[in-house]
Amino acid sequence: MQNRTSKQGSVVLVALLLTALFGCNNQTSSQAQQSPTPVTSANQLKVVTTFLPMYWFTKAVTGDTAQVEILIPPGTEVHDYQATPANAQAIANADILVKNGIGFEEFLEATVANAKNSQLKEIDASASIKPLDNATPEEHARDRVDEHAEGNPHVWLDPVLAKQQVANIRDGLIAANPENKATFQANATAYMQKLEALDKEFQESLQKYPNCTFVTFHDAYPYLANRYQIKQVAVVEIPEDQLSPTDIQTTINAVKKYNVKALFGEPGTDNKLLTALSKDLNLTLQPLDSLESGTLDPQHYFTAMRANLQSLESACQ
C-alpha cells in the first residue's frame, strides 16, 4: 500500500509539474502574441531630401526625431539626374521634401506631380538667398545649353549661405512639426555655430591671397570665391574622356588671359589627360570638391570643406 501510495504521489507530482510547465509556456506564448509592437518609427516625421548637402543639413537639424531619406545617391550627377519610380514612391510617402532650389533639381517638379501627395510640404533651402548670375567668364571648347537658367545654384559651398540654408530648413521643419521645435532649434544652432567657425577659418586663411585667380572645369564655386575675395575667372567646359587640340588650346588661352595661378578639378577622378595638361601649363591640378559625393554623416560637410580650403591655400601661395 505504501508503495502504491508513493507511486501515485510521484505520478501526481509529475503531472502537476508538467501542467505548471506547459501552462507557464502557453501563458508566455499568449502574452508574447498579445504584446503590442513598438510604433516609434511609424510615428516619426518622414523627410525626403534631394541630394547630399540637403541631406546633411536636414539630418543635422532633425537628429533622431525624423526618418530622413535622400533621392539622389551620393556621387550621382545631379544636373542630368533622371528620377526613378522609387523616387516618386518616396515622395508619395513623405511628410516633407527638402530641396536646394534655384532650379538645381530639374527632375523634381514632374516627380512631385507623379507622386500625387497632396499633404506634402516643401522646404526650399535657398529661400531668400539671392542667386548669383552665371557671370563667370566662360571659355567653352564646345557649345552647350546653359544649365542654370535661374542663376547659379551652388550656394551650399559658401559656409555663410549654408548657414542660411540650415536656418530655412529649421524653420520649415518647425512649421511642419512644432512639437519638436526645441530639438530642431538646438540642433540647428549647434550646426550653425560650426559653420560660423568654418567661415572664420576661410576668412583668416584666404585673406592672404586676395588676387588669387583660378580656373575650374565645373562652374560650382562663384559663391565661395565671392565670399572670400578670390577669383574664379573662367570655367573651361571640356569633355573629360577625350581632349582635342581645340580643348587644350582653349585651356591654354584661359590660363594666359587671366594669369591663372591654379587649376581645379573634381576629386576622386583619375583624369590623366587633365593632369598632363596641367603639367604642360606648369600648374598643379588641385582637387576642389563640389560636395555632391561623400558619406551620409552631416559632419562630412566640414571635412570636405576643410580639404577645399587646403587645396585653395596650396594653389594660391
Query: Which CATH architecture fits 41-128+152-196?
Result: 3-Layer(aba) Sandwich (3.40)
Q: Which CATH number describes the domain made up of 201-316?
A: 3.40.50.1980
Domain ranges of the chain: 41-128+152-196, 201-316
- Res 30: pLDDT: 36
Strand order in the sheet with 45-49: 66-70, 45-49, 96-99, 121-124
Domains 41-128+152-196 and 201-316 share a fold: yes
Q: What is the pTM of this model?
A: 0.83
- Give 216-241 pLDDT, tens digit per residue: 888 899 999 999 999 888 777 666 56
Q: Which long-range contacts does 180-185 make (Cβ < 8 Å, 24+ apart)? A: 180/45, 180/62, 180/65, 180/66, 183/62, 183/63, 183/65, 184/61, 184/62, 184/65
Residue 32: predicted pLDDT:
33
Predicted pLDDT of residue 268 = 67
In the predicted model, residues of the chain with pLDDT beneath 70 are 1-42, 134-148, 237-243, 268-271, 273
Distance CA 254, CA 231 (A): 13
